[in-house]
Amino acid sequence: MLKTLVPDLDALNILDERLRFLSAWTIHHANHVRDSSDGLKVGGHQASCASMSALMTALYFHALGPNDRVAVKPHGGPLLHAIHYLLGSQSIEQLQNFRGFGGMQSYPSRTKDAIPVDFSTGSVGLGVAITAFASLVQDYLTAHGKMADDERGRFVALIGDAELDEGNIYEALIESYKHDIRNCWWIVDYNRQSLDATSADRMFERFDEIFASCGWRTVELRYGKRLGAALATYPALKSWLDELPNADFAALSFQGGAAWRARITADLGKTGAAFLEAHDDDALGSLMTDLGGHCMASLVEAFDAAKDDVPTLFIAWTVKGFGLPFAGHKDNHSGLMNPTQAHAMRDSMGISPGDEWQPLAGVGANALPAVQALLDRSRIQRAKRDRSFGKIAIPAIAAPSGAEQATQAAFGKIMLDLSRAGGDLADRIVTTSPDVTVSTNLGAWVNQRGLFKRREMKDVFAGAKIASAQKWSATTQGQHIELGIAESNLFLMLGALGLSGDLFDERLIPIGTLYDPFIARGLDSLNYACYQDARFLLVATPSGITLGPEGGAHQSINPPLIALGQPGLRHYEPAFADELAIMMEEAFRLIDTPDGESTYLRLSTRSIAQPQRADDRWKAAALAGGYWLREPGPGAEAAIVAMGAVMPEALAAFDELSADLPGLGLLAITSPDLLHRGWSAAQAVRWQGKRTPSHVENLLARLAPGAGLVTLCDAAPASLSWLGGVLGQRVAPLGVDCFGQTGNLADLYAAYRLDGDAITKSIAELLLTPF
């Protein structure tokens, strides 16, 4: 544990003011100084920054250690950049280009910002929750000997109070309690204002209870030292202020000292008189807003007192827009100072016009050495880290043998083989699943590698010698993290595991499994993980109406379309086990490659006959998104284009039709996502005179220009129907475009037109329709 530094409160207060100004000025510059070519409002959140400047000063210039990592609430981004500017790790050009093309981002971004950002934020709630999962990853790495105990850091989330309404925070809180997480600080900027207005009072009474019941220490910083001392002298005033509704407090903060005086007089009469007489209006306005979150001494004291590893919730009371002309106004969320107000703020801080960007402008000569010393000794000065890639040897992955196989079962077998083979790759794999470990075929892997828990857990059933296929004991050496049924947590867990190379310089190979339809349940967390460029393999199974008797509530329809529109995630949908094997190998490679990405495998429980391969030539094409499973004849007039579990229907129809339609081809699609990306990328460079056709164009160019394509997938038909647009060929799209139902496969495929009959009729119709 780091030893506590002696705080220089005066210097910290100066930095607080300086940061509040710099963040406000950065936003002001973007809106009122920089040329606007399009006349659009640039925006920014001066009030959200102002309420948190003291908090961030106390953290970054006093409390944080070199291994601590922080998720800054999205609208506090300009403060983070201002901190790095003072530290010399951010340029003036970036600040001046706030929200401009290539400039510092509106909200902290790991991948886009020039400064080191530990966690991206933007979609509120997610930055908070990922810190808990990152602390779990840290415990995992130390338990596995991949990180020294004394390298452990703390994970800090700076949270807006309205952000606490996001349910994903409580899902994460529950999961982190189960996993006994530690080294986490969540600090609420409790300014009691959201975007729309002041926030409700009642709920706040409950938050500390919720956290305390999950084992968290809660620390409330309500009043600053000055106000606290005054209230101790005037207990009636304290009772009154304790009960004052949020909206009233905010309105009075906005109105200032005279309004406070009038209200205290009206409510407390003679009881408040002595207190009021002791202060003029200005002093009164300043005293009444001396809340804990603005009081450096209180903040430093509270952080110093929480140096153990107990997870801690700090509730720091603040005024939104503190120190700005619209402090406390309920509409101040996107409020911007006008130039007169911004200049007045500058002048009040002793900064000369033109010196606004001078890092320590306005700091008096006497104070300067101490402030400079504080900056110099800051323990968070660090360069943007190199990302750790390319250190894992990825062996070739063999396809499981078997004449008939389902891709889901093949996945389980590959995982078992990997585990038995051992080696670096297997040791770096961490699996995780939201209570569907066994039903997604991860059971054999878990039997081999065990569950991970910081505190060991015995398998009671095994101990009692009750027969079970599944071993369920947990140790610190286990490699599977079992989660409760909360898919958002799965994606946050994968996000944190997938950033282990970046955060801890030790890359892990995270594999998460869930049922395909429930991707939608955690979609924003999935997007969040991808946005940060976390690397993982997502295995979604079972999928589609091929799931049969489980019915419409479990049959996924649109995930291939989700994947088609999701950057950072590559969709592969294998029909056969040998396709799956090369896709897993590729997915592992993509996890450990700088320009790689995450992979989503959509699998099925349907056992189907496996193909005999003449050679390996199909492999490269399959990894690129598709290959001819049955080659078309020259200038063929028609082709069947199929993906995944419905391949037997496509093959049967091909066998039946090819006698009458010589030259008919069967195209196996393994990734509509990759094909589409390649196609649009080729289009995008065509205007530069580069005419390299994409993989999908090459595949389809084997057919006649006006050929008919019958596309077939157990998913929304739009997943493949776009293929007709590539070369202007005609398409009959077969797929599922309404909710599924229970039934056996023959009945369901007939009802949803995924069978041979539908293929035959569609081809006939295409060929009979004149082009």
677 binds, among Mg ion, ligand TPP, none (CB under 5 to 8 A by kind): none
Please give the structure tokens belonging to residue 342: 């911004």
Does position 194 interact with ligand TPP (CB under 6 A)? The reply is yes
Q: Where in 25-64 is the site for ligand TPP (CB under 6 A)?
A: 48, 51
CA 250-338-76 angle, 5° bins: 60
586 binds ligand TPP (CB under 6 A): no
Q: Where are the alpha helices (DSSP H) in 144-245?
A: 167-178, 204-213, 225-233, 235-243
CA distance 370 to 365: 10
Binding residues for Mg ion (CB under 5 A)? 160-162, 191, 193
Among residues 322 and 600, whose Cβ is nearest to ligand TPP? 322
**Binding mask 654-673 vs ligand TPP (x if CB under 6 A, - otherwise)?**
--------------------
Q: Quick one: which of 154, 320, 346, 535 contacts ligand TPP (CB under 6 A)?
A: 320
Q: Reduced to 3 DSSP states, what percent helix, strand and coil does the chain have, rounded to the nearest 5? A: 45, 15, 40
Smallest distance, Å, CB 193 to Mg ion?
5
Is 203 among the residues that bind ligand TPP (CB under 6 A)? Answer: no
Chain length of the chain: 771
Phi, psi values for residue 514, rounded to 5°: -160, 170
Contact assessment for residue 547 and residue 646, using Cβ atoms and an 8 Å cutoff: no
Q: Which is nearer to ligand TPP, 320 or 602 (CB)?
A: 320
Cα separation, 232 vs 242, in Å, equals 12
Residues 408/603, Cβ–Cβ less than 8 Å: yes
Tell whether the torsion through CA atoms of 646, 647, 652 and 657 is positive or negative: positive
Nearer to ligand TPP, 75 or 554 (CB): 75
Query: Is 296 near ligand TPP (CB under 6 A)?
Result: no
Q: Residue 75 touches which of Mg ion, ligand TPP, none (CB < 5 to 8 A by kind)? A: ligand TPP
Residue 202: CB minimum distance to ligand TPP, A: 16
Identified binder of ligand TPP from the candidate list 160, 292, 498, 512, rule CB under 6 A: 160
69 forms part of the interface with ligand TPP (CB under 6 A): no
Decide: is 123 part of the binding site for ligand TPP (CB under 6 A). Answer: yes
Q: Whole-number minimum distance, CB 517 to ligand TPP, in Å?
A: 22
Is the bond into 400 cis (omega within 30 degrees of 0)? no
Helix spans in 6-52 (H):
9-28, 46-50
Q: Nearest residue to ligand TPP, using CB?
A: 160
Nearer to ligand TPP, 164 or 674 (CB): 164
Q: Contact between 163 and ligand TPP (CB under 6 A)?
A: yes
* Class of residue 323 by CB neighbours under 10 A (exposed 0-12, middle 13-18, buried 19+): buried
Cα separation, 432 vs 481, whole angstroms: 5
Chain mean position to CA 420: 33
Q: How far apart are CA 427 and CA 154, in angstroms?
A: 25
Instruction: Give the range of 135-143, 156-164, 238-246, 340-348 binding ligand TPP by CB under 6 A.
Output: 156-164
Partner from ligand TPP, Mg ion, none binding residue 48, C-beta < 5-8 Å depending on class: ligand TPP
437 binds ligand TPP (CB under 6 A): no
Which of ligand TPP, Mg ion, none binds 649 (CB below 5-8 Å, type-dependent)? none
* CB burial string 76-97: b at 16+ within 10 A, e below: bbbbbbbbbbbbebbeeebbbb
H-helix or E-strand spanning residue 583: helix 577-591
Residue 195 near ligand TPP by CB under 6 A: yes
Min separation Cβ 134 and ligand TPP, Å:
20
Residue 195 binding result from Mg ion, ligand TPP, none, given CB thresholds of 5 to 8 Å by partner type: ligand TPP
> Among 162, 490, 503, 669, which residue sits at the site for ligand TPP (rule: CB under 6 A)?
162
Q: What angle do CA 47, 52, 55 make, to 5 degrees?
A: 170
Partner that binds at residue 525, options Mg ion, ligand TPP, none, CB closer than 5 to 8 Å by kind: none
Q: What is the DSSP letter of 161?
A: T
Q: How far apart are CA 436 and CA 457, in angstroms?
A: 19
189: contact with ligand TPP by CB under 6 A: yes
In the complex, minimum distance from the CB of residue 453 to Mg ion, in angstroms, rounded to a whole number: 36
C-alpha distances out from residue 202 to 192, 205, 477, Å: 12, 6, 44
Could you say whether residue 16 binds ligand TPP (CB under 6 A)? no
CB of 14 to ligand TPP, least distance (A): 23
- Burial letters for 139-155: b for 16+ Cβ neighbours within 10 Å, e otherwise? bbbbbbebbeeeebbbb
Residue 198 interacting with ligand TPP (CB under 6 A):
no
Based on the shown chain and the rule CB under 6 A, indicate whether residue 329 belongs to the binding site for ligand TPP: no
Among residues 18, 20, 28, 75, the one that binds ligand TPP under rule CB under 6 A: 75
**Degrees to nearest 5, angle at CA 425 with 420 and 428:** 105
Structure tokens at 321: 């827009």
Query: Closest CB to Mg ion among 44 and 272?
Result: 44
Decide if residue 124 touches ligand TPP (CB under 6 A): yes
Task: Rank residues 118 and 161 by Cβ distance to ligand TPP and give the closer one.
Answer: 161
Name the residue nearer to ligand TPP (CB basis): 49 or 682: 49
Radius of gyration of the chain (CA): 30
Chain residues in the site for ligand TPP (CB under 6 A) = 48, 51, 73-75, 123-124, 160-163, 189, 191, 193-195, 320, 333
